[in-house]
Structure 1
């Protein structure tokens, strides 16, 4: 089992390609709060619902000082198709090597349909302006998670 991040931990740095293949770093967002969410796969029903929920609430979140980055093990080409097909406005980055996923505790053993498997653990983190974990949510649900996050953050 990968170690899980806790509030107060320093958010692990990453630089990953976005849907256009351009590098996106957590450090690019220094001085702003960032919601980093990890999801299993672009173009799947649950992940689409979650990405659309973030897009639908992006104006509210950015207005409250939060940037949003979605991370999956997908390659940029698939992320571009996902973004274009669903008109997504959130920044999507790919981690095909799953190194960032593992570092954030978002890849490892999970139970799926009653069986233990290795895979992406749907997780969301709120990183403060100084790069520290403010909130760490593991095993979140794709549906309703963004609304709950907005309530938890009192936005």
Structure 2
């Protein structure tokens, strides 16, 4: 057979170990991404089912808040999946989706605190509002000074 038909060899030694680790990391990232999508679908379907059950047994307001909570959780899972996909493509961690996940998580917590029957502490609400401000500022900063766009 010709040289073209020769089997491509994998690197050996340290280079081989690095190659193996990179491929193992990619495989694990793919599995995690698939599991995140499955979880998002399950949470969304259960949220919709719970919404219709809650409407018949409780107030529409309570059902809507619970559905919004589930939808925000699905949004967090989707954003994390997006981060995994971008990391697989670029082979480095992408900042903006992680900041978006943090922002959605804080907003979700604020909605939960405000919708619960227990009194919310002023300190907790102030901290959550400060976190929203920090995440928004970080998103603005990263979008303005992202090195990949230049």
* TM bucket, shorter chain: under 0.3
Q: Calculate the TM-score normalised by the size of structure 2.
A: 0.24
| Structure with a larger share of its residues in helix | 2
Question: Where is the strand percentage greater, Structure 1 or Structure 2?
Answer: 1
Q: State the TM-score, normalized to the length of structure 1.
A: 0.23
Q: Which has the higher contact order (CA 8 A, sep 6+)?
A: 1
